[in-house]
């Protein structure tokens, strides 16, 4: 009996030891798996693998694709580990944003010698890709923590935001301690250059209204079409880019935030002159903060005066002589040389004045702004068509003149007089 008892005790002891060893092994395996999962998630945030959501009106897919020598796609974090072990080049991500090597972009920019601009967070180069497509490459400053944060924000947001009035992000590079963003090339440059560069032809009034409508549609998509909604936080004329046909797109999403994220900030960020006074006082940003900046942009289109050079003071002086709806003519850009519809100018300026109301709750939404500008733009087109339909054609005048030659001098004189009066009424 004693032998059996001893064997039983020894067996139980061995079983307990084995159980403890298995438990410890399972614990360490769990911690190891969890650590790898966190590393994978951290890596995915750096690579910005957020699925596209194509909600909202006027949304459209990206209109440019690039072929490169060695594009690499971003690894989705939801993929199993055995799939992640495959070659990256054989995988296409949901975002469609490709990763490029430093060598590719160095070659495309001729060793970064094709500088076309300089932003707050880095230099911008023109690049010719192997597909013969021209793109813009923004190289973020290596010594800027804000630049790296901007890089991550833009990749994450623009990976899922696609609209014809937003600049399309089509690639990125994170290599050799460099962070680069690759965009669709906007051949006409920024709106600011067309407003303030005296070497460029001044924008017509009709084109200014069209640009204002394009920007409003882009912001409406961010506010009401994207899920979750996005607040841009840095609307200004230098962040509005124009393509070959002078259609506008909103650019530079480095300060943008999803609305679901906390709206309270410790540091005020943005561009002085465009900042919402309520945001400055409360350090809380909302969609109406974008509306205020957009209102400043509208006045900038009307007056071609920089907000850093007293635009809003100029506006407030003009507002003292108006009833809020008419009397804004004195704001008109002198370079327009009177070629502006006064009624439309008053409507646009009155709308802009609503946007910059000190009380955010009294400002219109971007959807309301789009509807108002659409009416203004449509009415201009109707008037233009009516004017064109009443303009006498040159060949019809020639035929009439031939008929006049066969008439009496008296009847000829009367006919010429009626033609002159008709021309005068058309010019007016």
Joined tokens for residue 71: 């594009």
Which of 104, 214, 234, 290 does the annotation list as catalytic? 234
Task: Print burial letters for 189-212: b (CB count within 10 Å at least 16), e (below 16).
Answer: ebbbbbbbeeeeebbebbbbbbbb
Torsion, Cα 324 327 331 332, to 10 degrees, reads 120
**What are the residues facing 115 on neighbouring strands?**
125
**Lookup result for tokens 């709106």:** 191
Q: Is 234 a catalytic residue?
A: yes
Phi (first) and psi of residue 19, to 5 degrees: -65, -40
Is 387 annotated in a binding site? The answer is: no
Joined tokens for residue 154: 């833009």
**What are the residues facing 230 on neighbouring strands?**
258
CA distance 136 to 187: 10
Under 8 Å between Cβ of 274 and 296: yes
CA distance 111 to 203: 35
Q: Which residues are annotated as a binding site for ATP?
A: 138
What positions carry a catalytic annotation? 234
Q: Which residues are annotated as a binding site?
A: 138
């Amino acid at each position: 009996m004693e032998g059996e008892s001893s064997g039983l005790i020894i067996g139980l002891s061995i079983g307990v030891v084995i159980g403890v060893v298995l438990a410890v092994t399972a614990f360490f395996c769990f911690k190891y798996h969890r650590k790898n999962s966190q590393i994978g998630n951290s890596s995915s945030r750096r690579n910005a693998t957020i699925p596209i959501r194509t909600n909202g009106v006027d949304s459209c897919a990206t209109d440019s694709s690039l072929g490169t020598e060695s594009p690499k796609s971003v690894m989705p974090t939801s993929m199993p580990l055995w799939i992640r072990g495959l070659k990256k080049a054989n995988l296409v991500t949901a975002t469609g944003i490709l990763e490029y090597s430093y060598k590719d972009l160095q070659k495309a920019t001729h060793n970064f010698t094709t500088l076309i601009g300089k932003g707050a967070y880095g230099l911008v180069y023109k690049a010719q890709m192997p597909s013969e497509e021209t793109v813009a490459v923004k190289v973020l400053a290596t010594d800027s923590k804000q630049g790296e944060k901007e890089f991550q924000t833009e990749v994450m947001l623009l990976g899922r935001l696609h609209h014809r009035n937003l600049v399309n992000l089509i690639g990125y590079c994170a290599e050799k301690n460099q962070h680069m963003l690759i965009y669709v090339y906007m051949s006409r440059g920024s709106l600011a250059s067309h407003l303030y560069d005296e070497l460029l032809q001044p924008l017509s009034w009709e084109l200014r209204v069209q640009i204002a409508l394009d920007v409003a549609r882009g912001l409406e998509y961010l506010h009401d079409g994207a899920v979750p909604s996005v607040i841009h936080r840095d609307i200004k004329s230098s962040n509005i880019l124009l393509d070959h046909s002078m259609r506008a797109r909103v650019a530079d999403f480095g300060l943008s935030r999803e609305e679901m994220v906390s709206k309270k900030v410790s540091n005020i960020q943005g561009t002085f002159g465009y900042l919402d006074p309520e945001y400055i006082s409360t350090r809380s940003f909302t969609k109406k903060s974008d509306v205020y900046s957009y209102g400043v942009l509208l006045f900038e289109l009307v007056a071609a005066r920089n907000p850093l050079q007293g635009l809003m003071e100029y506006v407030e002086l003009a507002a003292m002589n108006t009833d809020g709806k008419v009397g804004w003519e004195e704001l008109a850009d002198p370079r327009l040389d009177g070629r502006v519809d006064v009624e439309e100018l008053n409507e646009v300026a009155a709308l802009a004045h609503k946007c910059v109301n000190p009380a955010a709750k009294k400002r219109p939404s971007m959807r309301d702004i789009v509807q108002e500008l659409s009416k203004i733009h449509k009415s201009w087109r109707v008037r233009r068509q009516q004017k064109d339909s009443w303009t006498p054609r040159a060949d019809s005048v020639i035929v009439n003149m031939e008929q006049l030659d066969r008439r009496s001098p008296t009847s000829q004189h009367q006919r010429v007089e009626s033609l002159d009066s008709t021309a005068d009424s058309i010019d007016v």
